[in-house]
Amino acid sequence: MRPRLPPLNALKAFEAAARHESFTRAAEELCVTQGAVSHQVKALEAELAVKLFNRERQRLIITEAGRDYLNVVRDALDRIAVGTERLLQRQSTGVLTVSTSPDFAAKWLVHRLGHFAEAHTGIDLRVSATLHHVDFAREEVDLAVRHGDGHWPGLNVVRLSAEQLFAVCSPKLLSGRRRLGRVSDILKFPLIHLDSRSDWANWLQGAGIDDADVMHGPVLNRASMVIDAAINGQGVALARTTLAAWDLINGRLVRPFPESRRLSKTYWIVCPKATTGLPKIATFRDWLLSEASNDLRQLKTHGSPSNRRPLRMNTL
């Protein structure tokens, strides 16, 4: 059986009164009344059956027994304070494990990790790129970035950004004999497909080009591969806002036409509800949102066609 311990408030009142040799100054430190401190000390003396202070001529003088007990109490309170500080530091600093898809890690996250490390030296970031949705109850992961509709019951979910699907290509495809002048010119170049050729067929139909021959060009199984192939000038690709943002902003990709399709699925920042308020998790989430917001601001001037003509297309 655990030994009975005196109330913590009584111990705090006794320690403060002994240090200040005054109930009044102890009360000011503890933000309570002088009567409350006096009552706590008297209750402690009654529980211990030991006189801790003598009251002489409006002076508070600690007894020998009180002095011995003060050493024990002060040491215990100091240990609690140090342990509490260490616990709070662990919540604000230390290892932070983040799970993302390989595409998001490759095309969005890795370019920015240096900026995060410089700004938050106390956080040891670990990134796990995986195709499966992490099980927070079983895996040592603090936060995840997932692609989907945002419906994950029991988890705290914050949308990273809205997304559109649009055509992208290398800047060199905008010049030369076969340059892209209008949407139909896309068909002069290899079409780079993700998983199947249906996305290009649907996108072109939404742009007013029916029965287009989309059976040419490679089919790749990763969005990051599709974007890299477009950067290398291997054809025209369809890309989502988030994954293409870095390359659009830095001039490796361009949007030859303003037509776009709004997507219903996007990236979300996900973590257990119980840990959503931990400082290091909140810090990383705020940083992700700030980076995504900055991308959208820059895309308005760097990554979008100057003659922007949003097209009404079905959502995906």
- pLDDT tens by residue, 276-291: 999 899 999 999 999 9
Q: What is the CATH number of the domain that holds 108?
A: 3.40.190.290
| DSSP H stretches of helix in the chain | 8-20, 23-30, 34-48, 64-92, 102-104, 113-119, 198-206, 223-231, 241-249, 279-298
Domain match, 59 and 175 both:
no
21 phi, psi to nearest 5 deg: 55, 40
Token pair recorded at residue 67: 């002095």
Exposure string over 25-63, b if 16+ CB within 10 A, otherwise e: bbbeebebeeebbbebbeebbeeeeeebbeeeeeebebe
For position 178, what pLDDT does the model report?
72
For position 84, what pLDDT does the model report?
66
pTM (two decimals): 0.69
Domain match, 17 and 142 both:
no
Q: What is the CATH number of the domain that holds 76?
A: 1.10.10.10
Helix axes 223-231, 241-249, angle to 10 degrees: 30
Domain match, 151 and 252 both:
yes
Could you give the number of structural domains in the chain? 2
For position 63, what pLDDT does the model report?
93
For position 96, what pLDDT does the model report?
92
Domain match, 21 and 119 both:
no
- pLDDT tens by residue, 243-263: 999 999 999 999 999 999 999
Domain match, 136 and 58 both:
no
Q: Give the separation between CA 121 and CA 125, rounded to whole angstroms.
A: 10
On the 0-12 / 13-18 / 19+ scale of CB atoms within 10 A, 77 is middle
Domain, as residue range, for 33: 8-91
Strands 155-159 and 260-262: unpaired
In a domain, 192, yes or no: yes
159: helix, coil or strand?
strand
**Which of 16, 10, 77, 5 shows the shortest CA–CA distance to 43?**
10
**Which of 253, 189, 208, 249 shows the shortest CA–CA distance to 180?**
189
Residues of the chain below pLDDT 70: 1-2, 83-93, 302-316
For position 313, what pLDDT does the model report?
41
For position 180, what pLDDT does the model report?
83
CB atoms within 10 A of CB 302: 14
